[in-house]
Structure 1
Amino acid sequence: MTTLRIAHLYPREMNIYGDTGNLVVLLKRLEWRGLTAEAVAVGVGDTLPADVDIVLGGGGQDAAQGDIGEDFVTRSADLRSMADDGVVMLAICGAYQLLGREFRTQTGRVIRGAGVLDIETQGSATRLIGNHAVDSEWGQLVGYENHSGLTRLGDGVRALATTASGRGNNGEDSTEGAVRDNVFGTYLHGPLLAKSPVFADELLRRAFERRAGQVLEPLDDALELQAAAVAAKRPRT
């Protein structure tokens, strides 16, 4: 039996709005199918295992991002190599920004990113915050956004989803998140995968396809989809 290996980046610092729940969702969806996974927590200074199938990163408050930002960038070469090799990645909010080329603060300070995603983020006084449902090729994704970093997509990525004006990556171009090969970035907390089961299974499908060509059996997602429908109707403020 194939066992997936999942690296969870900075679970102590980067777990705002329940982002660690994305790991729980993936593990449970494997367990319900009789499949197994090994989760490896990677903190500041820890070795990032080379032989992983999925890399997860969450969001954190600005102070937490400052704590891990320098350590994150030291992993740039490893993360780029993994992305080039087809490793599945899901990065939420702060981790999404850090996978980009750079983050420019309101004061003009330039913080170098890992360069996995062709995106740039500009800090601003504008804050995009509230419940959020977006349209993607894997159906509706439902989560919660809260960020003042405004992200622009380069030519090397495409948007994960489309959204209403005033939300998403930057509040202007109706994009949300970014995709490059098997790398996905998004501002959706919540945790995202708990209310987006089709997308959760897409991540697992890609990981298994890369590892062993294994086919996933379908699950009954009625409860998850019902939760998503309720969450999508909640007021934004």
Structure 2
Amino acid sequence: MSKGTINILQLYPREMNIYGDWGNVLVLKQRLVWHGYDANILEHNADGEFPADVDLIVGGGGQDSGQIVIQQDLQLIAPHLRALAKDGMPMLIICGLYQLFGNYFKTHDGTVIPGIGVLDLETHGGTERLIGNVVASSDEFGDVHGYENHSGQTFLGPGLRPLAVVSKGEGNNSKENHEGARHLNIVASYLHGSLLPKNPAIADFLLEKAVTRKYGSFEPGDVDDSLAELARQHAGSRPR
């Protein structure tokens, strides 16, 4: 018997899903099943209505052109997203949407794409692409593994803490050793690959917050993460 159903919303899967970020949704869905819960996958695209019943939000990466396409719709739903964040909605925000959840993204040619201010950060388009395998250390989640591919240089505001500290790779920018951001129940990151298959601790954090917010408590199942651990070992041994 199912312990309950969690509604996972993927933001803009048409425009912001070019680096396999759909894999994050699949991991959340499967791990919910392993923990004894059901998963319902929803979508919100630029021409759609925001679903009324959402428990967890996932957003992916995209090109600058994709960010421009979704900009108007994202601004329309921004007040609702800010309210959900303040109310404890767990969110996983990757790369392009990570940038737009900040205050603004200034492209390399000087175009300013306003963000929605969920996260206190700003991003500046650069001439250098930061590409390669990343290993970073998090007090919450242990070692975080992934693959970065971005030219945006993101800088966190004074009240925003990074997701992890980089030991291999670049992370948010080429001047600091921070990767991603953590705020409320939001996990934001530049890491693709997808992120969650090799980082089950982050996946279970999001699921625990979603289930607890909806049902009052989370009853984890007995999950075998031996394959995920093997993937983490291989990822950690790869060259930059």
Shorter-chain TM-score: what band? over 0.9
1:6 equivalenced with 2:11 (yes/no): no
Q: 1:105-116 maps to which residues of 2 (within 5 A)? A: 105-116=107-118
TM-score normalised by the chain length of structure 2: 0.94
Counterpart in the other structure of 2:61: 59
TM-score normalised by the chain length of structure 1: 0.95
Correspondent of 2:221 among 206, 217, 224: 217
Please tell me the residue identity of whatever aligns with 1:176: E
Please tell me the residue identity of whatever aligns with 2:229: L
Counterpart in the other structure of 1:128: 130
SS at structure 2 position matched to 1:66: helix
Counterpart in the other structure of 1:198: 201
Q: Deviations over 1:145-203 (max 9, x none)?
A: 01111001012321000003760001212110011100111000011000001111111
Counterpart in the other structure of 1:142: 145
CA contact (8 A) 1:96 1:185 kept: yes
Please tell me the residue identity of whatever aligns with 1:201: D
1:183 equivalenced with 2:186 (yes/no): yes
Please tell me the residue identity of whatever aligns with 1:209: T
Rounded to whole Å, the distance in 2 between the matches of 1:76 and 1:16 is 23
* RMSD over aligned Cα atoms: 1.4
Counterpart in the other structure of 1:19: 21
Range that drifts further, 164-173 or 190-199: 164-173
Please tell me the residue identity of whatever aligns with 1:149: G
Counterpart in the other structure of 1:160: 163
CA contact (8 A) 2:121 2:156 kept: yes
Rounded to whole Å, the distance in 2 between the matches of 1:166 and 1:19 is 20
CA contact (8 A) 2:9 2:44 kept: yes
CA contact (8 A) 1:133 1:163 kept: yes
After superposing on structure 2, the runs of 4+ consecutive aligned residues of structure 1 that deviate more than 6 Å are: none
CA contact (8 A) 1:143 1:189 kept: yes
Rounded to whole Å, the distance in 1 between the matches of 2:6 and 2:112 is 36
1:118 equivalenced with 2:148 (yes/no): no
Rounded to whole Å, the distance in 2 between the matches of 1:165 and 1:107 is 29
Range that drifts further, 206-215 or 113-122: 206-215
Rounded to whole Å, the distance in 2 between the matches of 1:111 and 1:101 is 9
Counterpart in the other structure of 1:96: 98
Counterpart in the other structure of 1:208: 211
Rounded to whole Å, the distance in 2 between the matches of 1:171 and 1:40 is 36
CA contact (8 A) 1:5 1:39 kept: yes
| CA displacement at 1:10 relative to structure 2 | 1.0
SS at structure 2 position matched to 1:163: strand
CA contact (8 A) 1:19 1:189 kept: yes
Rounded to whole Å, the distance in 2 between the matches of 1:67 and 1:233 is 38
Rounded to whole Å, the distance in 1 between the matches of 2:44 and 2:124 is 27
CA contact (8 A) 1:166 1:172 kept: no
Correspondent of 1:171 among 170, 174, 186: 174
Correspondent of 1:37 among 29, 35, 39: 39
Q: Deviations over 1:13-39 (max 9, x none)?
A: 211221000000000011123310111
Mark the CA change 1:50 to 1:183 in structure 2 (over 3 Å): closer, same or farther.
farther
Counterpart in the other structure of 1:77: 79
